[in-house]
Amino acid sequence: MARTSTTLAPGTQARGSRSGRPIMALLDLLGRRWALRVLWELRSEALTFRALRARCDAMSPSVLNQRLVELRDAGIVELERDAGYRLSREGGALLHALAPLRGWAARWAHRSARSSR
């Protein structure tokens, strides 16, 4: 798998950290504009570039292309010749690992709503 100059990987510096710790590289990658949205849209089916762009509120093609390059380089997204982009096995495992954050976010929203009353 070829790495681009902007590809994040464990052992490389990430925003907010020079340590190269894998978690910091992952959080940097997922914190990039539209990255999580791309993962969310690919959660259940493969999509062509055009279909993915439409589901992502027609984000600019250059930004979508950059996110796809980064996510493919990280082994999170794959390109299937006839189907389009889809989550790799590791991408599916990543979404599964992130699932508990949904519950935490719901509790956080509930606490925030109570404290603003």
Cα–Cα distance, 19 to 81 (Å, whole number): 37
* Residue 9 placed within a domain: no
Domain-embedded: residue 2: no
| Residue-number span of the structural domain to which 96 is assigned | 22-115
Residue 52 CA to residue 84 CA, distance in Å, equals: 9
Closest listed residue to residue 88, CA positions, set 30, 26, 43, 34: 43
Residue 1 lies in a domain: no
- What is the pTM for the complete model shown? 0.80
pLDDT-derived band at 24 (thresholds 50, 70, 90) equals: confident
**Does 67 fall in a domain?**
yes
**49 domain-assigned:** yes
Query: Which pLDDT band, with edges at 50, 70 and 90, does 114 fall under?
Result: confident
Any domain includes 79: yes
pLDDT band at 4 (very low <50, low <70, confident <90, very high): very low
Q: Is residue 83 domain-resident? A: yes
CA atoms of 21 and 116, how far apart (whole Å):
37
Query: End-to-end CA distance of the chain, in Å?
Result: 52
d(CA 16, CA 88): 27
d(CA 66, CA 36): 13
Mean pLDDT of 92-109: 94
Residue type, 104: W
Quote the CA–CA distance of 104 and 87 in Å, as a whole number: 24
Is the residue at 61 inside a domain? Answer: yes
* CATH number of the domain residue 105 falls in: 1.10.10.10
The tally of domains found in the chain comes to 1
